[in-house]
Amino acid sequence: MGILGTSASIFADINLIIQIALLVLTIIGIIKSKPYPLHGKIFTVVTFVTLATTLFIMGPALFLKWGDFAAIPFPPGSAIVIVHHLAGLVALILGLLWSYRYIDARRNRKPYTCGSRRMMWLTAILWLYSLFGGIVIYYLVYV
Ligand code: HEM
């Protein structure tokens, strides 16, 4: 039993709380695209916390809870979960690339031009889609 009073496990509840905090940070990071060093720092933290929760909670849950997800009748749960994970995976790879460039710029005193505005928006849209999708999946499965 979890901590939010739903049928979710404690891991799913902790993950939900972390993802909501990351959503708030993501919105702050998008609003604060300048100064670039602060923007880069916010998204590097968001990216690495997301990487950890993906590796230790959401990734394993994809396999362990597949039966619960697939049981959602409409829209088909398996489709929602697969699209959510694919969007999240692409966003995470892009986030890791921008974070790598941020760390490189910091260490080697290079300009903080981590990526183009268009690619940043592509990352932000995939990132937000995936974050909201995860919250919807929690609601459909556990509430
Ligand atoms: C998941 C990671 C990231 C997301 C979702 C993201 C999102 C965004 C968004 C939405 C914008 C456009 C803001 C606007 O139109 O005013 C932007 C701009 C920008 N971001 Fe990021 N960002 C991420 C990571 C980073 C990192 C790590 C850096 C490194 C410093 C960075 C550097 C920049 C720069 C330089 C711009 C301005 C680009 C330009 O106008 O040419 N971003 N970002």
Reduced DSSP (H G I as helix, E B as strand, rest coil) percent helix, strand, coil of the chain, to 5: 80, 0, 20
Residue recorded with tokens 């602060």: 38
Give residue 78's pLDDT: 85
Give residue 72's pLDDT: 85
The model's pTM is 0.93
How far apart CA 15 and CA 137 sit, in angstroms, is 12
| Longest CA span, the chain | 53
Q: How far does Cα 112 stand from its chain's mean position? A: 23
What digits encode the pLDDT tens for the residues 5-30? 999 999 999 999 999 999 999 999 99
How far apart CA 63 and CA 85 sit, in angstroms, is 12
Mutate to test the pocket of ligand 1, among 22, 28, 33, 34 (most ligand atoms within 8 A of CB): 33
| Domain-embedded: residue 4 | no
| Domain-embedded: residue 64 | yes
Using the predicted structure, report yes or no on whether residue 51 has a pLDDT greater than 90.
yes
How far apart CA 91 and CA 25 sit, in angstroms, is 16
| Domain-embedded: residue 23 | yes
Give residue 2's pLDDT: 86
| Domain-embedded: residue 3 | no
Give residue 80's pLDDT: 87
What digits encode the pLDDT tens for the residues 68-96? 888 888 778 888 899 999 999 999 999 99
Domain interval for residue 89 = 10-142
Give residue 76's pLDDT: 82
| Domain-embedded: residue 65 | yes
Distance from residue 60's CA to the centre of ligand 1 (Å): 30
Quick one: which of 107, 104, 119, 128 has its CA closest to 29?
A: 128
Domain count, the chain: 1
| Domain-embedded: residue 41 | yes
Using the predicted structure, report yes or no on whether residue 1 has a pLDDT greater than 80.
no
Using the predicted structure, report yes or no on whether residue 55 has a pLDDT greater than 80.
yes
How far apart CA 95 and CA 88 sit, in angstroms, is 10
Segment 111-132 shows an average pLDDT of: 96
Q: Is 31 in the pocket of ligand 1 (CB under 6 A)?
A: no
| Domain-embedded: residue 122 | yes
